[in-house]
A and B are shown apart, each in its own frame.
Chain A
Amino acid sequence: MEKLYVNETGPDGVVSTVGLFYSQAEAQKIVAMLRANPDRAAYRYEVVEAVRQILSSKESRRAEPASKE
C-alpha cells in the first residue's frame, strides 16, 4: 500500500500533518473535505509521499541547530 501524508499549511506558513493515508483516493477525499470547509479557506493542502517527507525533514533538521519543535 502507498503511505501518504496530508499536510496543511496555515496562513502563517506553519505546516501541520493531518494524518497518514494509504491510497491517493483516501488522501484526496480528506483534502476535498477540508477544502470544502469555508473556515479553512486560508489554508493550503497537499498530499506528500511519507518517505519523501521524512527524508526532507531529516535533511532540514541536520541543516539547523538542535531545537525543540
Chain B
Amino acid sequence: MRGITPRREQGVADPVLAEMVHEMGLKEAPHYAAVKPTIQAYRRRWVELAPYREGTVNPKRVEVSDPVEITRQIKAKAAELGADLVGVCRLKPHMIDLGEDVPHEFVIACCVAEDYEKVMQGADAVEEEAMRTYVRCTEISNELAAQIRAMGYPARAHHNGGSEVQAIPIFYEVGFGELGRHGSLINEEYGASFRPGFVTTVLLLVEDRPREFGVQDFCMNCNVCQLNCPGDAIPQDYVVTHGIKRWLIDLEKCYPYSRLRNEYCHLCVDVCPYNVKSHSDTYRAFMKQRKQVGYKTPKAI
C-alpha cells in the first residue's frame, strides 16, 4: 500500500531548518549538535535496534482461526513488554509516509506514557524522559514484530530507529485520542505525554475504533498552548485533513525556540489542560510558575 502523507525530514535534512541554520552561519542545529551523554546513549540505542525492525519469517506458519483471541494475546504481550496503551486498526494510505510502500494490512499501535512530573525539573529533564520513552517503544515494537514473524507472518516494527508510518492518524484510528491544537494527539488519561511505536503485519487482527471525547471542540475555545508558545507558532485557524481539524504549527516560528537553541521546548504539550486529569497537582504547580512569568493559564489555576 502506497503512502500519501508527507513526513518532514529531521535535522538539517529539513529544508526549513537547513535555511535557518545556514542564515545563522552554523553547520548543524544547536538542538542536535549539543546533547547530554544520557540522551546520546538513548539515541544510539534506537539506532542499534534499527536493523531488527524486520527479520526472517518462520516458514512454518501457525494457522490463526480466532482473530479475536490472537488480537487479545498480542495486546496482552505488548502490555507485558511495557506498553501503556495498545490498539489495532487496518492500515490506510494516509497512515503511510508519502513515497513509501508498506505491504501489510494491519497496524498495531503501542504507546508508552512519559512521566509528566519531569516538567518541574526543567526542559532537559523533559527531553531525557522523551528519549527514554522512545527507546522503550523501540524495544516493544521490535519484540512484538519478532514474535509475529516467529508465528509465520511478515511483520515490521516502526519506531525512532526507522519508520514508514505516521503516528497521529493511526493513534486516532485505534481510539487513543484526538488531535489537539498543539499538533499532538490528546489521550484522556495521559494528555499528550506519550510516545509511539508500531508494528505493521499481514496477520489478521480485530480492529479498534476511533474514540472522540470532545478534544477538538475544547481546543477551539482553549488557547492556552497558543498563548504560552514563546514563538507564537501555534495558529488560531485550522485546516481540515481527512475530516479532522489540524492546527498546522509554523515551523519558521517554532524552530528558533526548539531546534535553534540548546534547550528543549515542550511547552505546548506541558501547558495543555488535559494534563490536569492525570497529574493534577504537578500541572497546577507548573501553571502557577507560568502565570508568575506572565503567561496565560486556565481560569481554575
Count, A-B residue pairs, CB within 8 A? 54
Report if A17-B251 is in contact (Cβ < 8 Å); known contacts: A1-B16, A33-B98. Answer: no
Stretch from B79-87, B151-159, B222-230, B234-242 that touches the partner = B234-242
Specify the chain B residue showing the minimal Cβ separation from A61: B237
A39 to B93, CA, bound (A): 9
Per-position binary interface string of chain B over residues 1-41, scored 1 when its CB falls under 8 Å from any chain A CB and 0 otherwise: 01011100000000110010000000000000000000000
Cβ of B99 within 8 Å of any chain A Cβ, yes or no, is yes
Query: When the two chains form the complex, which single residue of A39, A57, A68 contacts B237, counting CB atoms closer than 8 Å?
Result: A57
Query: When the two chains form the complex, which single residue of B217, B240, B252 contacts A17, counting CB atoms closer than 8 Å?
Result: B240
Of the four ranges (under 10, 10 to 19, 20 to 34, 35 or more), the interface on chain A belongs to 20 to 34
Could you tell me if A16 and B245 are in contact, using CB atoms closer than 8 angstroms? no
Could you tell me if A16 and B252 are in contact, using CB atoms closer than 8 angstroms? no
Report if A16-B242 is in contact (Cβ < 8 Å); known contacts: A30-B6, A34-B98. Answer: yes
Candidate in B4, B15, B93, B241 with the most chain A CB atoms within 10 angstroms: B4
Chain B positions within 8 Å of A, measured between CB atoms, are: 2, 4-6, 15-16, 19, 93, 98-99, 217, 237, 239-243, 245-246, 248, 250-252
Could you tell me if B237 and A54 are in contact, using CB atoms closer than 8 angstroms? yes
Report if A16-B248 is in contact (Cβ < 8 Å); known contacts: A34-B4, A37-B2. Answer: no
A3 to B254, CA, bound (A): 14
Could you tell me if B239 and A30 are in contact, using CB atoms closer than 8 angstroms? no
Cβ of A47 within 8 Å of any chain B Cβ, yes or no, is no
Could you tell me if B237 and A23 are in contact, using CB atoms closer than 8 angstroms? no
Q: Which residues of B contact A34 (CB under 8 A)?
A: 4, 98
B100 CB, min distance to chain A CBs, angstroms? 11
Could you tell me if A16 and B240 are in contact, using CB atoms closer than 8 angstroms? yes
A33 to B101, CA, bound (A): 13
Report if A22-B4 is in contact (Cβ < 8 Å); known contacts: A17-B240, A30-B98, A54-B237. Answer: no
A18 to B239, CA, bound (A): 9
Query: When the two chains form the complex, which single residue of A16, A26, A33, A54 contacts B241, counting CB atoms closer than 8 Å?
Result: A16
Q: Which residues of B contact A16 (CB under 8 A)?
A: 240-243
Could you tell me if B251 and A22 are in contact, using CB atoms closer than 8 angstroms? yes
